Amino acid sequence: MSNQSSAYDTGKPIAPPLNLYLREASAQAELDSLRGLNAVRAARRAGEERFTNETLVTLARVCASEGAEDAVWDLLEMLTERVAGRIARHLQVWGVTQREAREDLCGEILTAMYDCIACREVSQEFWECRFWICFDRRARTILRDYRASGSEHAGLDAQPEALDIGALAVDDQVIARSALAALPEPLRTAFVLKHYAGYAEESSNPEEYTIASTLGVSGRTVRNYLRRAQDLLAPWREREN
């Protein structure tokens, strides 16, 4: 392992300021608490004290720049444990239930995360500021590409039975899944993203994933999709009431 010098370098910041962004105050405070430690010891302490994801990312990038590969992988393993539930949720929302596809997509999402974090390109600095925004963006891009590939199991429309409607009675669950399965695309995707995944219809924030950005349409078109979906589901809603 190269470039692992003395454990302490009194007063030296663990990471330099970012070029394009400002770190969150909480992450900056954690980094300040590591002042004087070298990258490897800082990484070990960050794991012991369960620092924020953004701090782990910063330390991984610092360790990568210093050639401390073992420390980089330790930090990435910590992040992998933290994102496992998030990946499962993404796969559920996009209707990916086939085991082989889930494993492949999980590996692809994690590899994308590793590649972005371990490099030192300025373009990847935002991971140090808004980890979940960056992670979700990568995951959704991969899943959207998978869906566009035409795979049998790719997309929200493939598996309506994967959606969480467990709060309904058993008979109503069957009816709800049938109703959702009957919705044509892209109405079904818009409806599921809105009511099951909690996506906003549109946003002025270019970093936010919305129904509009996911489908590549305007907010007005999204609202038309949702209105048409509601109309098609009206008979089921009347039966439910």
Last residue of a domain, one of 99, 115, 148: 148
Alpha helices by DSSP H, listed for the chain, are 25-33, 39-48, 53-65, 69-93, 99-118, 131-148, 170-182, 187-195, 211-215, 219-240
Tell me whether residue 90 is in a domain.
yes
Q: Per-residue confidence of the chain (241 residues) as pLDDT tens digits?
A: 344 443 334 457 888 888 888 898 999 999 999 988 888 899 889 888 889 999 999 999 999 988 899 999 999 999 999 999 889 888 887 878 888 999 999 999 999 999 999 887 888 899 999 898 889 888 988 988 887 776 544 444 434 444 444 444 434 445 566 777 778 888 888 887 887 767 889 988 776 778 888 787 899 999 999 999 888 888 776 665 5
Q: Is the domain of 235 the same as that of 132?
A: no
Cα–Cα nearest to 30, from 11, 46, 47: 46
The answer to whether residue 14 sits within a structural domain is no
Q: Does 173 lie in the same domain as 115?
A: no
Kindly state whether residues 43 and 131 are assigned to the same domain.
yes
Separation of alpha carbons 76 and 72, rounded Å: 6
Q: Are residues 111 and 188 in the same domain?
A: no
Q: Say if residue 39 is in the same domain as residue 100.
A: yes
Q: The whole model's pTM is what? A: 0.64
- Read off the tokens for 64: 């990568």
Return d(Cα 198, Cα 200) in angstroms, integer. Answer: 7
Number of domains in the chain: 2
Q: Quick one: 69 and 137 in the same domain?
A: yes
Q: What are phi and psi of 49, to 5 degrees?
A: -100, 5
Question: What is the distance between the alpha carbons of residues 149 and 27, in angstroms, rounded to a whole number?
Answer: 38
Q: Are residues 109 and 173 in the same domain?
A: no
By residue range, what is the domain housing residue 134?
Answer: 25-148
User: What is residue 125's three-state secondary structure?
Assistant: helix
Domain identity same for 136 and 61: yes
